[in-house]
Each structure stands twice: as C-alpha cells, then as structure tokens.
Structure 1
Amino acid sequence: MTDAGVPLRVVSYNIHSQRDDTAALAEVVRTAAPDVVIVQEGPRRFRWRQKTAALAESFGMVVAAGGLPSLGNVLLTSLRVRVVDTRCQRYPLTPGRHMRGAAYAQCRVGGVDVLLAGSHLSTDPAERPAQAAAFKRELAASTLPVVAGADINEGPDGPAWQTLAEGLTDTALAADRADRLTFSCSDPRRRIDALFVDPRIAVVDYDVVDTPAARRASDHFPVLVDLLLPTA
C-alpha cells in the first residue's frame, strides 16, 4: 500500500484458445508479473476445469472465476488477491452464432474491495450492442470500484465500446497511449481490446506488450495496466 492507494497490476489478454505458442504465452504473463489476468478465449469445452487450472499454473496464478459457465472468459489472480465471491453471465443467444458471456469476481486486495470483470463480445456488429448493454448493466450495478477487461471486437468509435466506456476510465486514454494497437499481432491495425476502470481508481501506467514472445503467443497483444485502488 502507498499513501495514494493499493497497487494492482492487471493484464487483459485474448489468448486465442491457446492455439499458438503456449510456452511463449506463459513467458509473456510471467514476465509481466500481474496480480490479475483477465482472459478471453480461455478453456470452455471438454475438461475445461483441468485446462483452466493448468493455464493458471503456467502463469503462476490461481483460478478465480470463469471457464465454461462464462463461455471462455476466465479471471486469474495472484495469491495477494483474495476472492470473496464469483458469478458468471451468458448473453442471449442469436440463432446460428457463438454464445458469449462474462465472468465476475469480487476480490479484496490490501484491504480494498474491487469487482473484477471480463468479457468477449461478438464479431457480429449487429450482436455487440446488446451484449455490451448486458455487460454494462452488471458493471453499473456494482457499488465496488470496477476493473473490467474485454475484447470488444470493435474500436473506440463503435457503439458497443462507447456503451462500456460511459462513466468509466479508458485506461489507454488516461495514460495517453490510445495509439497502441492490440490486434492483430501479425498486422497491428486496431485497438479492440480494452481495460476500463472506475474513476475512483488511478491509472499509473498502461502498455500493450509487443515482444517477440507476445507475437508468438496469440493473435492479440496483451494489455498491461498498473492501477492504484482507492483506500477510502
């Protein structure tokens, strides 16, 4: 804890269903040494519990919430983060499309309570606004400071992004790093991955991790953010 608040390092990361270099994936996360990893495209099918536990172990972390019940959204934490309560959400299914959802964990860090949340919105622009609205309702209902990571599948000018950003801090903008692109690793052209936080939370630093290992690990770059949680 500092005089200004409780530090929390967060990674939000679409891991591409672990279809790429898993050793590089573990290297990226372990090098970042986060307190929280908000995962999109985590294990969600056969033996998902074992696969999620193995993913967490490879990162040097533990499973807080998510997996199959949240359709591949997973929240992982270090041992300094105490998980108090968890829940999962599934968005209404549009026929012929993949189901989407979100994971939530009420946590305590250094005596401060916070809500962690993660989601992965549809690639279909017709579906995303309703999914963003459903995710936003859960975030807005929280009385705790919110830390929410998402693969939104659209940029900051899109309606789903704007729905999620309303009333929250876009950590890239707060750190004057909105020019850092997150997708794709092979041809970075778009910022479609975001970390939003409650205005009570201070943004200390923001980065999009672009290293040789990150380019091998997934088709998305991870977002890495240092925060200070409010103590009062």
Structure 2
Amino acid sequence: MKSIRVASYNIRKAIGTDRRRNPERILEVLNEIDADIIALQEADRRFGVRSAAIPAWLLESQSSYKPVPLNVQSDSMGWHGNVILVRKHADVAAHDVLHLPCLEPRGATMAEIGLYGRKVRVFGMHLDLSGLWRRRQAAAVIHAAAHGEALPTVLMGDLNEWSANRGCLADFARHYSFAPCGRSFHARRPVARLDRIMHCTRSTLLDCGVHESAAARRASDHLPIWAELKLG
C-alpha cells in the first residue's frame, strides 16, 4: 500500500515575512513539499469579496493541485479561508463545510478523497485566536469526524494553541494521535507549534516534520508542516 503525504499551511493571504503579497512564492513552497493533500488556512483575502489569495489560473498553471470545490462563494477558494488542495488526479468523493461556534468568523472544511486505490477523510481548520472558543470549536470538529463512513481520518490546521498539551489539544488527544512535526511559527524563528496534524487509528504515522526551506521562510509567517501516513 502506497503511503500518502499530507500537509498543513497557513499562507497568511500570500503575504510574506517581507510584507509583500506574492502567491507565486506560496506555490513554490507547495511544490517543494510535494504532498498529496494540503490544508491551507487564510487562503482568501479577509475583506471585500474575499477573493482567493492564489488566483485559480495560477494554481492550475503552476502546480499539480486542484481545490476541493466547496461551492460557497464564486470568488474565493475556501470557507472562512480554509481550503483543501488535492492532486489533480485525485477523486473527491464528498465535501462539506462546518459552521464553528465563534465570535469572529471561523469555519472548517471536510473532504473524502480517493488516492492510490484508497479513501481518506480530511478536515482542515483554523481555530479561534483569542482562546475563548477553541475548545467548543474542537468539539464541533470531533463530533463531525465521528459520523459517516468508517474511514482513515486526518485533521489538520492552525489550532492557535500555545500550550503544550492543554485546552483543545487535550480534547483532540482523546480521539486522535498528533504527528510531532515541530515548531512552525514564526517562520523566521519558530517558537510555537500552532500548526498541527492529527490522525486516527486507521492510519499509521511513518514520518513528519516542518518544511523549513528558504522559500518557506519568506512566503508566510507560518512554516508548513507535513506527515507521511500509511492508510490501514
């Protein structure tokens, strides 16, 4: 059984550590990671029509990925900035958006993806910055992931949790295993593990890490994280 590589990346609307918006740099990093499935956060602009930070034509022409079609807004790629990218040859069997309890706009995305003859369920999320709603948001994602077909399940995103093992991390840990990827924020000098990948018992972690290339240190204030999984 071929393993799959998943990744999570907060691209900060394609604004780099030099404060320049440059979606081409984000695509350079995505191509370096070479993951099969990628959860992006802050992939849409925050104000106005919330257009995609990476134009559709650019993603099509300069990458091997396509976005999971969420059918929410015509100009944006994601749901509250959350996007799931998959290989162009992957089969998207199902997809949905999750409304998370919040004071500020927050959401999560879900997709069931067919790759290499197997199917995996993936959730992408970006949880509350203040900490007031993170545990309730985590509970909503855990509840959604517990329903439906029994599939290998991966949860990824920017959890915004600074503690080592408390809060929403403890809640997720009751149901999922964390890939110990490493520190991903801030990109120039990482001090915190804000970005996380979790997997269920139907998959086995083979390897994981933080992608720390020169391009990744410039492209966003977060570094992308990745994990190699064998699906059971």
TM-score higher than 0.5 here?
A: yes
User: Which TM-score bucket, shorter chain as reference?
Assistant: 0.7 to 0.9
Query: 2:105 corresponds to which letter in structure 1?
Result: M
Superposition pairs of residues 68-217 of structure 1, within 5 angstroms? 70-94=79-103, 98-142=104-148, 143-155=150-162, 156-172=164-180, 180-217=182-219
Shift in alpha-carbon separation, 1:200–1:59, aligned structure 2, 3 A: same
> Which residue matches 2:73?
none
Matched residues in 1 for 2:29 and 2:53: separation?
21
Do the aligned partners of 2:91 and 2:115 also contact (CA within 8 Å) in 1? yes
Superposition pairs of residues 209-228 of structure 1, within 5 angstroms? 209-228=211-230
SS of the residue corresponding to residue 163 of structure 1 reads: helix
Query: 1:150 corresponds to which letter in structure 2?
Result: G
Query: 2:26 corresponds to which letter in structure 1?
Result: L
Matched residues in 1 for 2:215 and 2:191: separation?
19
Displacement of 1:29 in angstroms is 0.9
Do the aligned partners of 1:73 and 1:102 also contact (CA within 8 Å) in 2? yes
Shift in alpha-carbon separation, 1:220–1:109, aligned structure 2, 3 A: same
The alignment-based identity, stated in percent, is 29
For structure 2, list consecutive stretches of 5 or more residues without a partner in the other structure.
17-21, 71-75
Of 59, 64, 72, the residue aligned with 1:60 is: 64
Matched residues in 1 for 2:63 and 2:200: separation?
26
Q: 119-128 or 56-65: which moved more?
A: 56-65
SS of the residue corresponding to residue 70 of structure 1 reads: coil
- Root mean square deviation, CA, Å: 2.1
User: Within the alignment, does 1:7 sit opposite 2:3 as a pair?
Assistant: yes
- With normalisation by structure 1, the TM-score equals 0.85
C-alpha offsets along residues 76-123 of structure 1, whole Å, 9 cap, x if unaligned?
A: 1003421011100121332xxx21000101111222121011000011
Displacement of 1:200 in angstroms is 1.8
Q: 189-198 or 52-61: which moved more?
A: 52-61
Query: 1:40 corresponds to which letter in structure 2?
Result: Q
SS of the residue corresponding to residue 136 of structure 1 reads: helix
Aligned residues: 217
Do the aligned partners of 2:5 and 2:37 also contact (CA within 8 Å) in 1? yes
Do the aligned partners of 2:157 and 2:196 also contact (CA within 8 Å) in 1? yes
Between Structure 1 and Structure 2, the one with more helix by share is 1
**Runs of 4 or more consecutive aligned structure 1 residues displaced over 6 Å after TM superposition:** none
Query: 1:209 corresponds to which letter in structure 2?
Result: H
